[in-house]
């Protein structure tokens, strides 16, 4: 009898520690917790990581909501790679600083950073996340459920839920 209770306790304890409970029948490629930090209008050259709209009609997208990544529950985001300056630029910089030995030593390795921000393009930031364009948003935590769209680093927001503030 005590073995049965011990087994039930272990099963319940294991369920309590599961990170994210997915809605039944749903499959997401990326699930993350993020906190709103900014809202910017879309201008020429704007970049986002995901869209919260119909992917067939992108003309209605008006702003980008920026999130600080708090935790990634499922999936992985690629690190940001920054390529080093060209060899000619490195030579010019070394000559300006009078570091002539540096002229013979080139740095060809890119610098990698872990992703700390996530950007979602939306049609109306107030309707989707309750934040107006141009104002500093209250830092509201959300759990974002996303699916991949065509390429490895492009996502579509499938659903989101506001989390209690901690």
Q: What is the 3-state secondary structure (H, E, C) of 76-109?
A: CCCCEEECCCCHHHHHHHHHHCCCHHHHHCCCCC
Q: Tell me what pLDDT residue 68 has.
A: 92
Q: Any idea what the CATH number is for the domain that residue 52 is in?
A: 2.40.50
Does 103 have pLDDT greater than 80?
Answer: no
* pLDDT bucket at 16, cuts 50 / 70 / 90: very low
Residue 12 domain-assigned? no
Q: Specify the number of domains making up the chain.
A: 1
Residue with tokens 């996502």: 155
According to the model, what pLDDT value does residue 119 have? 92
**145: in domain:** yes
87 in a structural domain:
no
Reported as a pLDDT band with limits 50, 70 and 90, residue 12 is: very low
Residue 155 lies in a domain: yes
Residue 86 belongs to a domain: no
Domain ranges, residue 59: 27-78+115-162
What is the C-alpha to C-alpha distance for residues 19 and 12, in angstroms, rounded to an integer? 14
pLDDT of residue 143: 94
- 64 in a domain, yes or no? yes
pTM over the 0.85 mark = no
Confidence of residue 145 (pLDDT cuts 50, 70, 90): very high
């Amino acid at each position: 009898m005590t073995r049965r209770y011990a087994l039930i306790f272990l099963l319940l304890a294991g369920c309590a520690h599961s990170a994210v409970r997915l809605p039944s029948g749903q499959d997401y490629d990326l699930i993350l917790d993020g906190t709103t930090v900014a809202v910017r209008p879309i201008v020429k050259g704007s970049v986002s990581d995901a869209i919260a709209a119909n992917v067939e009609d992108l003309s209605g997208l008006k702003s980008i909501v920026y999130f600080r990544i708090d935790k990634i529950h499922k999936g992985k985001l690629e690190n940001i790679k920054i390529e080093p300056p060209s060899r000619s630029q490195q030579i010019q910089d070394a000559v300006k600083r009078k570091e002539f030995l540096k002229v013979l030593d080139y740095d060809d390795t890119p610098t990698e950073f872990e992703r700390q921000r996530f950007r979602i393009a939306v049609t109306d930031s107030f309707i989707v996340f309750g934040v107006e364009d141009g104002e500093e948003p209250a830092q509201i935590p959300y759990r974002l459920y996303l699916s991949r769209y065509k390429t490895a680093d492009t996502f579509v927001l499938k659903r989101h839920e506001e989390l209690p503030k901690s």
